[in-house]
Amino acid sequence: MKNSEQVANVKIGRSLQYGAISIEVRGAEKTPEFRALKSQPGFLFLVIDLKVENTKSASTAFIVPDEEIWLNSGAGELAKPENYKFETALEKGKPSEGHVWFIVPAGAKNFSLLFGKKKLPKIPVDFSL
């Protein structure tokens, strides 16, 4: 059973251009259970819905979530995704929809989803839950 006090949703609806890839950050959900997994005490899953599309490159464009998508939840160091489910090799004009998820402290409310290599400047999408 989900505890309704711990489940939170937000519609984000922000699009950005990351290299050849257009990324639409559609929404986010904080939840104690995700894909038959249960979060550890004091933590929740933050699931972020995305739509990605190669809009600028005639050849296949790639995004590597483990190296190019980060989360700042105010807990210090940037977090890598726990996992993701969307196509990462994008042919022009063939969008992919899916999600990326992180483990966050249960009390975290302000988030910044960041796109960019670890040591390079990043494009932020800020939201609160």
What is the biggest distance separating any 2 CA atoms in the chain, rounded to whole angstroms? 47
Q: What range defines the domain where residue 48 resides?
A: 8-64+81-107
72 inside domain: no
Residue 39, in any domain of the structure: yes
pLDDT score of 69 more than 80: yes
> Which pLDDT score is estimated for 74?
82
Mean per-residue pLDDT, 34-54: 95
Q: What is the pLDDT of residues 70-95, one digit of tens each?
A: 999 986 789 999 999 999 999 999 99
**Range list of H helices, the chain:** 65-68
CATH assignment at residue 100: 2.60.40.1240
Q: Does residue 118 form part of some domain? A: no
Count up the domains in the chain and report the number: 1
Radius of gyration of the chain (CA): 15
Assigned domain for 16 exists: yes
20 has pLDDT over 60? yes
Mean pLDDT of the chain: 92
pLDDT at 118 over 90: no
